[in-house]
Amino acid sequence: MLDRHLRPLIDPPLDALGRRLAAGGITADAVTLAGLALGLAAAVAVAFGAFLLALALIAGSRFADGLDGAVARAQGPSDFGGYLDITADFVFYGAIPLAFVLHDPAANGAAGAFLLASFYVNGASFLGYAILAEKRGLRTRSHGVKSLYFTAGLLEGTETILFFAALCLWPQHFAPLAWAFGALCLVTALSRVLLARRVFPG
């Protein structure tokens, strides 16, 4: 919901930095993998209870996630780069909730399982829509230039990062926050299914 409003603000400085990195020979895939490494390091920090360190690592990871697209635009996007980017995103989004469960299985186990299940359902609705959109030749730039078709939803990348930040700041409230966010993920998935029913009839 917030992603499309932030893109006009963050894309120009990211694109400028991306052009400099591309000119220096740094590839978009390398930036993607660096972002993934930071995200996994954040998950390790969460598991060990270093929540403020995790928050800083999450911020760095998501900065890299935005920067890899800017480098790709400067170098010319590739299909594998888009594939690697979305795969790294899904690994990151799954690792953070899992880390909270590992940190305190008794308190966070049920809510964490529900949150991960809601991510799975939401991700399936997103990727399924993207496949059909590609098959139909649909295009959108509401989320910037992407290798996949991005559908708008109630919860998108920005909301998820804000949610992870809230978890790091108030880890004692993981369970209620996870139940609430997971429910909203399911609402997002349902809205995407209803949209697909209208756009891809029959």
CATH number at residue 195: 1.20.120.1760
Q: What is the mean pLDDT of the chain?
A: 90
CA trace torsion 164, 79, 151, 130 (10° rounding): -120
Domain residues for the domain of 170 are 3-199
- Report pLDDT digits (tens) over 44-70: 999 999 999 999 999 999 999 999 999
pTM across the whole model: 0.87
What distance in Å separates the CA atoms of residue 129 and residue 35, rounded to the nearest whole number?
26
Q: How many domains does one find in the chain?
A: 1
Alpha helices in the chain (DSSP H): 3-23, 28-47, 51-75, 79-103, 105-136, 157-169, 174-199
User: For residue 129, what are the contacts with CB-CB under 8 A and spacing of at least 6?
Assistant: 149, 151, 192, 195, 196
